[in-house]
C-alpha cells in the first residue's frame, strides 16, 4: 500500500473513532482528532481534497531529494532578537614557550592541545611522531571502545609530513598546526566512507569534504580517524556495535557523538568534532568526562554533514579542557555559503575578566543534586556572586520536539519509503525507524505552530541573557531541551563522579554568540578544580 493511500485511510479512521458504523445526524460531531471536531458531512467533503493531496505528495516523492538538500526556510534566532555582531579582536592563545616532553612517552596521550602546540612549535616533537603515537593508541584501544569507524593512517601521515615541512620552511599556522584529531563519522571526507553510523549507509562514499574538515585542514590539524556515532545520530549503538565508556567499558558512552567523547576521554586523540541536535555533545561528554562546547546555532557550518534537523543541528568540539575547546572552536567557526544558517560574529577569547561576568544559576533545578550543588560552592569560592535565576516557564518544551520529528522524518524520507530502515540495528519503538514513520503524521500546521511558540521562547530566554552573561545549570534539566530549541550555546564540563564511578557534569549557558564568556568561567573552574585532570585508569599506561 502506498503512503498517500495510507494517509487517507489513517485520517478517516481516526477521525471516525469507534463510531464509524453508527448512524449520525449530519450535525453530530465524531470523535475529535488533533483537537479537530468534524461532522460526517464535513469529513465526507474532505475526500476529494485528501485524494488530491495524496496525488501531490506522490508527485513530490518523485523529486529525488537527497539528505544534503536544505529547505528554502532558514532558522535564524539571531534575527528574532535583533542581534548585532561584535568586532573581532586579535586573540593571544598564550601558548607556553617551555613545555617538556614527558619521560614516559605514553603520558603524551593526555597532554592538552596547548601543551602539544608548544611541543610542535618548538619542534621538540614532529607532527609525524605525534600522529604515529595517536594512531598506535587508536589501533590498541579502538576495538576495546568500539569507537573507530575508519582509521586514516596513510592520509594522516601525509598531512603530518606536510605540517612538519611547513615548519621547516618557517610557516606556522597556529595552535592546531600538526595536531591530530578525530571526526564524528557524520561528516564527509572525499575518498573515505561516511557511514553515518547506520547499516544502510555503511559503504557510502560522498564526493565532498565537509567545511569543518577543510577549516581544520587550513589550521594545520591532522585527521587521523573517523569516529563512531549512534546510528543516524541517536545513542551509542552503531552498525558495528556499542561504543564504550572508557571509565566503565560495560557501559555505553552515550550519544550520539559517542566515539568522539570516548576517544578523547581515553587519550586516543587530543580532540574530536561532535554534533548536537538534542544532547549529542552534552550526553557523551558527561558520560565520558570530557569538555564539550555546543556553539550558538549557525556559528559552525554543517556543509558536508548529515542533516537530522536543519533548525536544530549544531557542530562543536569535544576536548579535555575549556581552553582546548576554545582553540578548536575558533578554527571551525564562521560563515559558509554552503550553509545558509551560518552567521558571523566575534569570538573575543580572553577579552573579559572573570570578575566582570554576571553569573546566575538555574535555582529550581539544583534540589537533590549534591555534586551540582558542590559545584556552585566551588564557583562561589572563586570570589564570584551567583544569583538565582528562573528560566522561562509554561512552554511546552517536549511538545515542541515535533519540530525535530518533522524535520528528521523529512531528512530521511527516502530511507523510510524505501523500506531500507529495516536494515537499522535498533528496531524498538523508540528507535529511528518507528520514530520517522510516526512523524509522517504530524500536520504541517502544527509544525508551523510549534515554531511560532519557539519564537516566543527565543525572545523570553534572550531577555534573561540581557541580565546575565553565564547561567549555571544541571546538564540534564529542562534547559537542555530549551536551549537546543532556541540555539543558545553551552559548555559542558566534568564536575565529579557518581556512585558507579562514572563522571558527572555541569553546564554553563550564555547568550547568543557569547562563547567567550563560557570559556572564561570554564577555564577558571577547571583551574580551581582537578576534575578535568582525571583520566580513565584502564587507558593510562
Burial of 348 (0-12, 13-18, 19+ CB in 10 A): middle
Return d(Cα 247, Cα 262) in angstroms, integer: 9
Q: Work out how many domains the chain is built from and give that number.
A: 1
Query: What's the Rg (C-alpha) of the chain?
Result: 25
Maximum C-alpha span of the chain? 89
Q: Which of 129, 103, 226, 120 is CA-nearest to residue 176?
A: 120
Domain assignment present for residue 228? The answer is yes
H helical segments located in 289-353: 322-332
The helix (H) or strand (E) run that includes residue 7 is helix 3-16
Termini Cα distance of the chain: 59
Task: Tell me the three state secondary structure of residue 24.
Answer: coil
Task: Tell me the three state secondary structure of residue 350.
Answer: coil
Is residue 206 over pLDDT 90?
Answer: yes
pLDDT of residue 30: 62
Please report the DSSP string for 496-513 in residue order: EE-TTS-EEEEEEEESTT
Is residue 14 over pLDDT 90?
Answer: no
Return d(Cα 125, Cα 306) in angstroms, integer: 36
**All 3 cell numbers of residue 233?**
545520530
Going 239 to 243 to 249 to 253, the CA torsion angle's sign is negative
Dump pLDDT digits (tens) for 23-72. 445 456 666 778 888 888 888 898 999 899 999 999 999 999 999 999 99
φ/ψ (deg, to 5) at 207: -85, 60
Look up cell 573575543; give the residue.
Answer: 348
- Angle value at C-alpha 402, between 64 and 306, nearest 5 degrees: 45
Domain assignment present for residue 153? The answer is yes
- HSE-CB at 292 with a 13 A cutoff on CA atoms is 35
In this prediction, what percent of the chain has a pLDDT beyond 90? 90
**All 3 cell numbers of residue 199?**
547499516
Q: What is the mean pLDDT of residues 367-389?
A: 97
Domain assignment present for residue 22? The answer is no
Count CB-CB contacts under 10 A for residue 107: 13
Dump pLDDT digits (tens) for 229-255. 999 999 999 999 999 999 999 999 999
Domain assignment present for residue 318? The answer is yes
Crossing angle, helix 370-380 and helix 515-528, to 10 degrees?
90
Return d(Cα 166, Cα 178) in angstroms, integer: 10
pLDDT of residue 29: 60
Question: Quick one: DSSP state of residue 304?
Answer: T
Name the residue range of residue 377's domain: 77-94+102-344+352-396+447-539
Return d(Cα 112, Cα 362) in angstroms, integer: 31
Return d(Cα 508, Cα 474) in angstroms, integer: 9
Domain assignment present for residue 53? The answer is no
339-to-13, 68, 196, 281 alpha-carbon distances in Å: 41, 10, 19, 21
Return d(Cα 223, Cα 131) in angstroms, integer: 9
pLDDT of residue 35: 87
pLDDT of residue 285: 98
φ/ψ (deg, to 5) at 350: 75, 10
Which CATH number characterizes residue 193's domain? 3.90.1300.10
**Cβ(256)–Cβ(230) under 8 Å?**
yes
pLDDT of residue 500: 87
pLDDT of residue 27: 53
Dump pLDDT digits (tens) for 153-182. 999 999 999 999 999 999 999 999 999 999
φ/ψ (deg, to 5) at 274: -125, 180
Q: How many residues does the chain have?
A: 541
Q: How many H helices and E strands in the chain?
A: 18, 15
Is residue 13 over pLDDT 80?
Answer: no
Q: Which residues pair with 33 in a beta bridge?
A: 36
**Cβ(507)–Cβ(474) under 8 Å?**
yes
Domain assignment present for residue 465? The answer is yes
Q: What is the mean pLDDT of residues 422-449?
A: 96
- Omega before residue 256 within 30° of 0, cis: yes
**All 3 cell numbers of residue 192?**
573515505
Domain assignment present for residue 24? The answer is no
In this prediction, what percent of the chain has a pLDDT beyond 70? 94
Dump pLDDT digits (tens) for 259-295. 999 999 999 999 999 999 999 999 999 999 999 999 9
Domain assignment present for residue 142? The answer is yes
H helical segments located in 178-257: 211-218
Return d(Cα 307, Cα 415) in angstroms, integer: 13
Return d(Cα 116, Cα 481) in angstroms, integer: 36
Q: Which of 5-14, 172-181, 441-450, 521-530 has the lowest mean pLDDT?
A: 5-14
φ/ψ (deg, to 5) at 205: -120, 125
Average pLDDT for the chain: 94
86-to-19, 89, 316, 517 alpha-carbon distances in Å: 62, 9, 21, 14
380-to-30, 273, 359, 385, 505 alpha-carbon distances in Å: 60, 32, 10, 6, 17
pLDDT of residue 128: 98
Is residue 461 over pLDDT 70?
Answer: yes
Return d(Cα 249, Cα 378) in angstroms, integer: 30
Amino acid at each position: 500500500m502506498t503512503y498517500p493511500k495510507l494517509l487517507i485511510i489513517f485520517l478517516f479512521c481516526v477521525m471516525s473513532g469507534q463510531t464509524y458504523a453508527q448512524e449520525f445526524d449530519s450535525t453530530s460531531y465524531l470523535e475529535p482528532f488533533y483537537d479537530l471536531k468534524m461532522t460526517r458531512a464535513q469529513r465526507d467533503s474532505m475526500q476529494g481534497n485528501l485524494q488530491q493531496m495524496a496525488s501531490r505528495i506522490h508527485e513530490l516523492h518523485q523529486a529525488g531529494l537527497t539528505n544534503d538538500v536544505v529547505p528554502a526556510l532558514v532558522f535564524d534566532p539571531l534575527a528574532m532578537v535583533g542581534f548585532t555582531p561584535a568586532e573581532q579582536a586579535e586573540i593571544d592563545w598564550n601558548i607556553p614557550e617551555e613545555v617538556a616532553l614527558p619521560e614516559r612517552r605514553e603520558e603524551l596521550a593526555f597532554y592538552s592541545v596547548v601543551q602539544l602546540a608548544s611541543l610542535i612549535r618548538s619542534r621538540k616533537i614532529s607532527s609525524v611522531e605525534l600522529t604515529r603515537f595517536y594512531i598506535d593508541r587508536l589501533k590498541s584501544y579502538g576495538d576495546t571502545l568500539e569507537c573507530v569507524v575508519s582509521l586514516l593512517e596513510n592520509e594522516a601521515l601525509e598531512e603530518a609530513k606536510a605540517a612538519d615541512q611547513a615548519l621547516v620552511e618557517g610557516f606556522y599556522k597556529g595552535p592546531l598546526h600538526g595536531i591530530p584529531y578525530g571526526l564524528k563519522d557524520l561528516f564527509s571526507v572525499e575518498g573515505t566512507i561516511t557511514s553515518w553510523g547506520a547499516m544502510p549507509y555503511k559503504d557510502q562514499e560522498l564526493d565532498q569534504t565537509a567545511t569543518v574538515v577543510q577549516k581544520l585542514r587550513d589550521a594545520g590539524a591532522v585527521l587521523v580517524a573517523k569516529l563512531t556515532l549512534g546510528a543516524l545520530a541517536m545513542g551509542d549503538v552503531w552498525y558495528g556495535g556499542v561504543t564504550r565508556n572508557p571509565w566503565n567499558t560495560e557501559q555505553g558512552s552515550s550519544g550520539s557523538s559517542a566515539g568522539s567523547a570516548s576517544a578523547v576521554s581515553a587519550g586516543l586523540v587530543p580532540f574530536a568534532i561532535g554534533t548536537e541536535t538534542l544532547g549529542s555533545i552534552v550526553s557523551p561528554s558527561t558520560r565520558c568526562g570530557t569538555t564539550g562546547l555546543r556553539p550558538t546555532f549557525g556559528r559552525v557550518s554543517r556543509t558536508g554533514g548529515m542533516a537530522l534537523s536543519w533548525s536544530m543541528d549544531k557542530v562543536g568540539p569535544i576536548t579535555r579542557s575549556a581552553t582546548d575547546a576554545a582553540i578548536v572552536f575558533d578554527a571551525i567557526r564562521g560563515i559558509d555559503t554552503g550553509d545558509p544558517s551560518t552567521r558571523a560574529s566575534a569570538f573575543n577569547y580572553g577579552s573579559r575578566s572573570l570578575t566582570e561576568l554576571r553569573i546566575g544559576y538555574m535555582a529550581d533545578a539544583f534540589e537533590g543534586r549534591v555534586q551540582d550543588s558542590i559545584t556552585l560552592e566551588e564557583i562561589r569560592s572563586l570570589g564570584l556572586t551567583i544569583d538565582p535565576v528562573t528560566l522561562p516557564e509554561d512552554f511546552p518544551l517536549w511538545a515542541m520536539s515535533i519540530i525535530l520529528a518533522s524535520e528528521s522524518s523529512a531528512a530521511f524520507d527516502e530511507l523510510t519509503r524505501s523500506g531500507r530502515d529495516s536494515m537499522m540495528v535498533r528496531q524498538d519503538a523508540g528507535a529511528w525507524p518507528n520514530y520517522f514513520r510516526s512523524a509522517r503524521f504530524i500536520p504541517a500546521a502544527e509544525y508551523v505552530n510549534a515554531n511560532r511558540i519557539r519564537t516566543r521562547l527565543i525572545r523570553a530566554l534572550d531577555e534573561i541573557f540581557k541580565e546575565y552573561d553565564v547561567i549555571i545549570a544541571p546538564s540534564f534539566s529542562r534547559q537542555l531541551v530549551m536551549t537546543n530549541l532556541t540555539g543558545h550555546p553551552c559548555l559542558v564540563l566534568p564536575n565529579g563522579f557518581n556512585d558507579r564511578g562514572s563522571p558527572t557534569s555541569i553546564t554553563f549557558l550564555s547568550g547568543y554568540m557569547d562563547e567567550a564568556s563560557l570559556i572564561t568561567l570554564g577555564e577558571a573552574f577547571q583551574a580551581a578544580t582537578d576534575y578535568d585532570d582525571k583520566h580513565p585508569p584502564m587507558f593510562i599506561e
